Amino acid sequence: MPPISNLNVQIGPNQTGAGQVGTAPAQAARPAPASPPGAIPTGTVVEGQVLDRNADGSYTVRIEAQGGRTALNLSARATLPLIAGEHFRAVWDASADGIPVLRLYAEELSLLSRVPASDRELATVLLSRGLPLSDEVLSTIREAWRRMGASPRQLFPLIELWARGAPMTAENVGLLSEYAALDGPAATVLWNRIRRELRERARKGENPVEILRAMKEGEGEIARFLRAHSLLMRSPQEEINPLLLSAPFWPVPEDAQDLTARVFVGRARQANGRRYWQVGFGVDGSGLGFIGGTVESDGRACNLNLHAERTETCELLRQQRGSIRRELEGTALPVEYIGISRTAVEGLRDQLLSGRGLDLTV
């Protein structure tokens, strides 16, 4: 797996509904507590995501679950400027009193030292995504950023657009900025509104695909949400780790309002002369914790693998294996195999990195 960039950051994650299969796109952050004593030992290499920048210059961050420790939302300081939505790998330093700090690896500091001071903010964000720090990439994104006024809040969506090969326009930057400001409950409300309109218009005989296309037109809240969602469903450019980019919110059943789901990546690969497609997803909720999964298909049938971080959730899924299979019997592709295991998020990340990107659109 391509390395996640090493940022000096202060961290935390806890997805109430937005599981990322590696790390989920930022949600609107709530004030985070300082790290509980001994929660993360100094010197631990942690991975996480920046949720928000606080008024005092610290950050609210999400640190992913690791080694039996659950995911945490915490406050932290950083030795480099950070932007909401960034993913990172850093060394946790809680050796001093007050808010902990995350330390960059020496090799990345060395890389940044060779970048002109005017480009270091951009270079830091690229490193945090494991993206190439080449002159060509810096130049392309820098010029687009300058044309828009070079606001720090524009960097996160600009890099998302570049990584996915999407047009780096002010309109698209605005769409992704609005989307990134949503949390799970807000996205669920929007999806429910979309469902209701789809049902009503479909009952009148309209084609669902044409309904969705029409709903994406205009400047209303729903239209902008769907256009941003479509941008985030574009597969990344080759050689870019999709799990270090944002993943869009996915609609969940209307009777599961406390959940948020994200589809992280579509992949395609060759094996034994046959072509397979793979999609990863993650769901997080207060009752069951994080559940991730992969669906792999050769176009004729599919396999489903589910991974739970909590032991009790894994046991519950195993007990319900038959119900899950019956629930999937009506899908277009027959389900040949359902695997259920307890695994760390890192294990699921590795499974999602084979092959090239596959576009999935609304």
141 pLDDT more than 80: yes
**Quick one: angle between helices 221-232 and 152-163, nearest 10?**
60
Q: Is the pLDDT of residue 219 over 80?
A: yes
CB-CB contact of 172 with 166 (8 Å): yes
Q: Which two tokens stand for residue 212?
A: 């969705």
State residue 197 phi and psi, 5-degree precision.
-65, -40
What distance in Å separates the CA atoms of residue 353 and residue 349, rounded to the nearest whole number?
7
Segment 323-353, tens digit of pLDDT: 999 888 877 788 899 999 886 555 555 554 4
What is the full DSSP assignment across 53-76? E-TTS-EEEEE--BTTBPPEEEEE
12, pLDDT greater than 50: no
Model confidence, pTM: 0.60
Res. 259 pLDDT band, cuts 50 70 90: low
Q: Where are the domains of the chain?
A: 248-357
Q: Does the pLDDT at position 314 exceed 70?
A: yes
Q: What is the pLDDT of residue 243?
A: 64
Which residue has better confidence, 59 or 123? 59
> What's the one-letter identity of residue 267?
R
Q: For the chain, what is the mean pLDDT?
A: 75
Determine the pLDDT at residue 14.
Answer: 30
Task: Label the pairing between strands 101-103 and 72-78.
Answer: parallel
